Amino acid sequence: MSARANIIERMREGPVLFDGAMGTVIYDRGVFINTCYDELNLTNSQLIHRIHEDYVAAGAQVIETNTFGANAIKLRSFGLAEQVEQINRAGVRLARQAAGPSVYVAGSVGPCTEPNQLILDDQAAMEVESAVGRQVSALADEGADLVILETFWDLRELQIAARAARPWGLPVLASVAAEAPGRTVKGLSVEQAFEALERDDNVDAVGLNCGMGPADMFEALRRVIHLTHKPVVVMPNSGLPRTVGGRRLYLSNPEYFTEYAKRFVALGARGIGGCCGTTPEHIRMAGRAIRSLPGVHKHVEIPPAPARRPSAEAIPPAQRSSLAAKMLSGRKVAMVEVLPPRSGPLDKMIQKCLRCRQAGVDAINVPDGPRASARISPMITALIIERQAGVETVLHYCCRDRNLIGMQSDLLGAYAAGLRNILIITGDPPKLGNYPDATGVFDVDSIGLTRVAEGLNRGLDAGGNELDTPTGLFIGVGVNPVAVDLDTEMQRFFRKIEAGAQYAITQPVFNVEALLHFLDRAGRHPRRIPVVAGIWPLISYRNAEFMNNEVPGVCVPADILERMRRCRTKQESLAEGVAIARDTIHRLADHVAGFQVSAPLGDVDTALAVLGM
């Protein structure tokens, strides 16, 4: 069985990258629009083959044949109705030659009718079914891996096409074209279309393509992703077209397209590609970003630690550190987050930590490469803080940069050196930082590494081998109460608890109601763990915009943005940021286990002011 045996199962394993537009690129390479683009499979095969090669080189895992209009009804207007088989077979051959052994080839099948055509009568429906069946027969016989029924505006025609495609044995992806605000030109909502396709046994995967740019398609996807259990594929246009010098051009850049590609994955899309206006460069950039996302990697399977190990007793959580004892007793904790410097010496940072200890802070949180940046080792930083400033630390530990062997060694080493509190995070992908070409490892995510750490606490390593002495790590995890897909975030949080998490720290909180809603849902788990609220004192309107737009997992509400926008001086902005943070703490004080306050630009005095110390 080949690696291409089942594209549907492959999509269920993780997101798959489709290619981009064919017609756009053909036009950009000098072919006028009055040409039959499908016939180019026969008359200019080198051009089509080069376009396929460019998409494969860009990283596409699925490329579509140049056969969108190669049905007898559409070809009739060019006098080519008798060449359906030749054009479709040639389309598959050209794609397969470029694809090689590991890239899927999808047979592209477009609608037989026009968007403004009246509702199909029975005679027209029979003609459509016959035309699609004839086209899919040629695609299947030549070895396509999948049929994509794309850019269909009429649900009835789409379902007729799916019925016609089913007998030929290929998986069927049925994709709807809609316009903002999520309706087809015939007035059908995307919700109605997805509900119908979910029930249709002739359809294996559903999709949205064309009609909308990335932003509008994101909103449409948000509305329908929960309506189906089938894999969902999204292929937006690059943006809205503009007429420049008589040509219809899509001016949205690959960076914009890529940002939404990442959001599609976060919502749960299992296939990402492009439609009108997208090019190999859009796919190349989006592919790099998607591959760097932690949730896309296939992680090493970590079995749960056994409930007990006779030869060694695990250290009770409350005895693992002073922070653990205080937090698990129900007393409020106060922590300050201090970034490791980019280079030594550490004298200034130690002085800041001493001020925190003297003010009564319980622990210093030490981030691990936030926003994929390179700084002094957080583990070395934490050790020096504990030894020279005399205050406990919470070592953030990220899964991005080390493989499973290295991560396990670090946890064992941290415990042997005297560190007790860790916060396990999956980590920002390298694309976000100053080293976008760096490789993210992600052997495990935060759930898997939590399970590893819990195993070490029980005296067993990731391979089930016994340790001489169990560790006593107080294991924390991160949570995001304003996640785009809160249901998935809650499921992951519960899995972290089941993996062994003993406390959690949230992303910076600006929306109090969102956190309260998260805590209410979190309370449904049979084992409740303390949740510490992350607090970020804003220092300017620009800082608020940056947090809202650029920092993953952070959402700054419009009213807070407006409060910061009204500030006229640096001092006024800082005072307002502190006031917002203190108001957040006041409103959350009775609902959380304490607060972690970030020191903006390393200013611990601002953090202490927020904590009232």
Averaged pLDDT for residues 297-323: 75
Q: Mean per-residue pLDDT for 155-162?
A: 96
Q: Quick one: tokens of 58?
A: 């860009």
| Confidence tier at 571 by pLDDT (50, 70, 90) | very high
Question: SS3 breakdown of the chain: % helix, strand, coil, rounded to 5?
Answer: 45, 15, 40
What is the pLDDT confidence band of residue 5, given thresholds at 50, 70 and 90?
A: low
What's residue 332's pLDDT? 97
- Going by C-alpha positions, the residue among 479, 492, 466 that lies closest to residue 534 is 479
Residue 14 has pLDDT above 90, yes or no: no
Q: Does residue 53 carry a pLDDT above 80?
A: yes
Q: Which residues contact 198 (CB under 8 A, 6 or more apart)?
A: 206, 227, 228, 229, 230
With cut-offs at 50, 70 and 90, classify the pLDDT of residue 295.
low
Lowest mean pLDDT among 80-94, 123-137, 318-332, 397-411: 397-411
Residue the block writes with tokens 């109460």? 481
For the cut 70, the answer to whether the pLDDT of residue 248 exceeds it is no
Helix or strand holding residue 107 (H, E) = strand 104-109
Q: How far is CA 162 from CA 27, 221, 271, in A?
A: 29, 21, 19
Q: How far apart are CA 392 and CA 321, in angstroms?
A: 8
In percent, the amount of the chain with pLDDT more than 70 equals 91
For the residues 204-209, what does the mean pLDDT come to? 97
Does the pLDDT value for residue 245 go beyond 90? no
pTM: 0.65
250-262 mean pLDDT = 80
Say what the pLDDT of residue 200 is.
Answer: 96
Sorted by where each starts, the structural domains of the chain and their CATH numbers stand as 7-292 (3.20.20.330), 317-536 (3.20.20.220)
Answer with the residue of higher pLDDT: 144 or 120.
Answer: 144
Distance (Å, whole) CA 279 – CA 69: 20
| Residue tagged 């007035």 (tokens) | 187
Separation CA 575–CA 559 (nearest Å): 16
Residue 521 amino acid letter? R
Mean per-residue pLDDT over the chain, rounded:
90
pLDDT above 90 (res 175)? yes
**Amino acid at the residue 346:** L
Question: Is residue 2's pLDDT more than 80?
Answer: no
Contact 290, 15 (CB under 8 A): yes
Other CB atoms within a 10 A radius of the CB of residue 295 amount to 17
Looking at residue 472, its pLDDT comes to 96
Q: Looking at residue 304, what is its pLDDT? A: 74
- pLDDT computed for residue 181 by the predictor: 79
Please give the span between the terminal C-alpha atoms of the chain, in angstroms, as a whole number: 66
Average pLDDT over residues 103-131: 88
Separation in Å, CA 167 to CA 106, 137, 163, 196, 297:
17, 9, 8, 20, 35
**Is it the case that residue 502 has pLDDT exceeding 60?**
yes
Per-residue pLDDT reduced to its tens digit, 537-546: 999 999 998 8
Q: What is the band of 244 on the pLDDT scale with cuts at 50, 70, 90? A: very low
What pairing do the DSSP bridges indicate for beta strands 241-244 and 247-250?
antiparallel
Region 316-322 average pLDDT: 96
Instruction: Provide the pLDDT for residue 243.
Output: 52
**Range of lowest pLDDT (32-41, 188-197, 290-299):** 290-299
**Is there a contact between 97 and 58 (Cβ–Cβ < 8 Å)?**
no
Say if residues 225 and 268 touch (Cβ distance below 8 Å).
yes
- Name the pLDDT band for 254 (thresholds 50, 70, 90): confident
Tell me: the pLDDT tens digits for 344-400?
Answer: 899 999 999 999 999 999 999 999 977 667 889 999 999 999 999 999 999 999 988
DSSP track, 279-343: -HHHHHHHHHHHHHSGGGS-PPP-PPPPS--TTSPPPPGGGS-HHHHHHHTT--EEEEE-PPPSS
Lowest-pLDDT range, 234-248, 354-368, 560-574?
Answer: 234-248
What is the distance between the alpha carbons of residues 291 and 437, in angstroms, rounded to a whole number? Answer: 11
Mean pLDDT for 313-329 is: 95
pLDDT attached to residue 547:
87
Question: Using 50, 70 and 90 to split pLDDT, how confident is the model at 127?
Answer: very high
* DSSP character at residue 525: S
